[in-house]
Structure 1
Amino acid sequence: MHIAVYVPLLLALLAPLGARPLSERCEPRLATWLLTASSLILGAASTISLGLLAVTGLIRIPLLAHLGHWSAFSAQHTDPAQLSIALAAGLLLGGAAITAGRMLWRRVRTLAAAAMDAACMPTHDGLVVMNDAAPDAYALPGLPGRVVVSTGMLNTLDQTERDILLAHERAHLSAHHYAFVALAQFGAAANPLLRPLAIAVTYTTERWADENAATASGDRMRVARTVGKAALATHSTPVRTRVAGAALGIIGRRGPLASAGPVPRRVAALMAPPLGRHPAIAAATAAILTAATLATAEAAHDLHILLHTVGAWR
């Protein structure tokens, strides 16, 4: 195998360095798309690279080489990848497959539970009000989804702030933000180095919903105050009513990824002018993903040539 097989692994190592700058300098909707695509493509490309390297180790085993009609002796002398690298790649590939499989299974179960919960919440306008003194509000995905708000949160906000909160939560549902978060986390499950990208997606989806609320209300400062007020109201209040991993709310996700969307950063962004699309950032991201894709294709072609070569020696 030649240098191309290592390019996706190198890009996956470097990509997290750009996660936070991209999330803070680029318009939230575009940033969410770019970060999600980066997590998925780099996760897939790096996993495929590990698989290609692992195959070069497998064909050096006489029994397995015999099954594929290859020459193990030729593979040992033709393939430039060291056996230790191939074995390490195989172990990493096994770990990635297990982690990604477990994450996918948990996510499917979570979203199914969320859809069931949403179906059990009859409503005419998609809004469900819970009789709960604990301030909380979140969007629950389903067919259709629901915006769930506690009486505690409604009592905390005035009418304008309630409208802002509902616009924020409805933006989560209409833009399918839970899908972006799930896909980015799936890429990070395949390659843990990409976890910062998944965390950044959680933040940019909140920023995306903030900007939608700002557009609907026409008052960015009022949205900033509402976000801060809702966060302060829920700061010391435990929330047990959400479906873990499926609900997105104005205060951000709770749990292991809570640090992904810190409220002060969101408030500061709302108090500043809206961010632009920054075509240069989008072009650079597209170039990186293209390079990863092409390198993976080139590595697969290299493996094809290697298998043909060791097969001809048989």
Structure 2
Amino acid sequence: MFDHFVVSVIVCPVLVAVFVRWLADRLRPEAAVTVLVISIVTAAAACLVSLSAFALKAVAELHPVAVRLGFSDAVVRADTEREPWVSSLSAVLLLVAVAGMVRVARLHRREKQVAAEFRGLPVDTDRVTMIDDIRAEAFAVPGAPGRVVVTTGMRSALDDQQYSALLAHERAHLDARHHYLVLFARLAAAVHPAFRWLTRRIEFLVERAADERAAEQVGDRRVVAKAIGAAALRAAHTRVGLSMAPASWDLRSAGVVPRRVASLLAPRFTAGLLALVALPLAVAAGSVIWTGECVADFGELLYTAGMLH
């Protein structure tokens, strides 16, 4: 079974991460981000199942368990006698992955609680809730109904065209359900460290996808670019000195807004590469097949161990 561990837990996730990272800057984000996230999540799920199988093998290797269930623990251990550490390591990795997923789920629950507070506020016919606040903020609140929350500080920082671009951007998040893509990417990152390398990249792609959809709706890429720059400058200015803003906010966000603006003003998409999204999908699908074989082999191992007991 050791080859299943190597392929499903090491090789496939790393290959998917490399392909996604390479394609992320070369494709139109609104056309590719969903497929890329599906690739990551599929590979992470396969990895999680493989770890579970090896963790169960670690339990089956315990003599008291084998005696209780009526099979030979020696036969189970013999399957990976050259790599005796793989079962216990898989059990540890599984616990770490589950703990990480629980943390992500708790964070998501807190975000939903905050969103529920905003859904209690009045909303106009354009799905916009305006809040009287000098801080420049604008964000999408998913749910039923979804809405865009904008502060008066943000509204005053933008002219009418830029404000329309801002609303189009946030509505794109709602319509495409981008919050689910971000959530799934975070869960995948909790399962495998290779995908942690991609979390911020996926979040950036989600923003870029909303930028592109806003540009299509507004019909002027420069207007969207100016809106992004003006909103970011005003938001950074109003956050200065506020206790709610982390001290590292500017450092963590540095470079994101200029890259979004540059992508709008000088897009570098290669349409011919779109078919290459099949690469991470194919690797992820192969990982699922290999994981299925891992589960089947584990079942056969237990059957043989029972017959030789």
Name the TM-score, length of structure 1 as normaliser. 0.88
**Does structure 2 conserve the Cα–Cα contact (< 8 Å) formed by 1:127 and 1:148?**
yes
CA contact (8 A) 2:137 2:154 kept: yes
Partner in structure 2 of residue 245 of structure 1: none
Structure 1 distance, partners of 2:144, 2:17, is 34
Contact 1:139 1:172 in 2 (8 A): yes
- Alignment partner, residue 8 of structure 1: 8
1:157-182 deviation per Cα after TM superposition (whole angstroms, max 9, x unaligned): 11111111111111111111111111
CA deviation string 1:30-70 (max 9, x = no partner) = 32112321221122111212122222222221111123321
Cα shift readout 1:245-292 (whole Å, capped 9, x = no counterpart)? xxxxxxxxx969955981121111111247337333211122111111
AA aligned to 2:274 is P
Match of 2:19 in 1: 18
Paired with 2:105 and 2:288, the residues of 1 have a C-alpha distance of 23
Q: Which residue of 2 aligns with 1:304?
A: 299
Instruction: Write the letter of the residue equivalent to 2:40.
Output: S
Q: Distance in 2 between matches of 1:207 and 1:191?
A: 25
Alpha carbon RMSD of aligned pairs, Å? 2.6
* Aligned twin of 2:257: 263
Pairing 1:131–2:132 present: yes
Of residues 281-290 and 10-19 in structure 1, the stretch that sits farther from structure 2 once superposed is 10-19
Moved more, 76-85 or 302-311: 76-85
| Alpha-carbon contact 1:154-1:162 (below 8 Å) kept | yes
Pair 1:260–1:99, CA change in 2 (3 A): farther
Contact residue 137 and residue 151 of structure 2 kept, 8 A = yes
- Within 2, Cα distance between the matches of 1:241 and 1:144? 31
Percent identity, please.
33
Q: Which runs of 5+ in 2 are unaligned?
A: none
In structure 1, the gaps of 5 or more residues are: 243-253
Q: 1:29 to 1:261 in 2, by over 3 A?
A: farther
1:280 aligns with 2:275: yes
Q: 1:203 to 1:241 in 2, by over 3 A?
A: farther
Contact 1:35 1:197 in 2 (8 A): no
1:231 paired to 2:226: no
Q: 1: CA distance between counterparts of 2:190 and 2:219?
A: 39
Change (3 A) 1:176 1:301: same
- Separation in 2, partners of 1:11, 1:24: 21
Looking at structure 2, the residues matched to 238 and 105 of structure 1 have their Cα atoms a distance apart, in angstroms, of: 26
Matches within 5 A, 1:47-62: 47-62=48-63
Distance 1:47 1:257 in 2: 34
Give 1:191's aligned amino acid: H
Alignment of 1:1-314 (within 5 A): 1-9=1-9, 10-80=11-81, 82-114=83-115, 116-125=116-125, 126-238=127-239, 259=253, 262-273=256-267, 275=269, 276=271, 278-314=273-309
Amino acid in structure 1 at the alignment position of 2:121: M
For the residues of structure 2 that align with 1:214 and 1:277, how far apart are their CA atoms? 22
Q: Give the paired residue count.
A: 303
Higher deviation after alignment, 254-263 or 303-312: 254-263
Question: Measured at CA, do residues 219 and 277 of structure 1 come closer, stay the same or move farther in structure 2, by a change above 3 Å?
Answer: farther
* CA distance 1:159–1:256, shift in 2 (3 Å): closer
TM-score w.r.t. structure 2 length?
A: 0.89
Distance 1:260-1:294 versus aligned 2 partners, 3 A rule: farther
**Contact 1:35–1:184 under 8 Å retained in 2:** no
Would the alpha carbon gap of residues 227 and 78 (structure 1) be closer, same or farther in structure 2, given more than 3 Å must change?
closer
> Are the aligned partners of 2:128 and 2:148 in contact in 1 as well (CA < 8 Å)?
yes
Change (3 A) 1:163 1:302: same
User: Which amino acid in the other structure matches residue 299 of structure 1?
Assistant: C
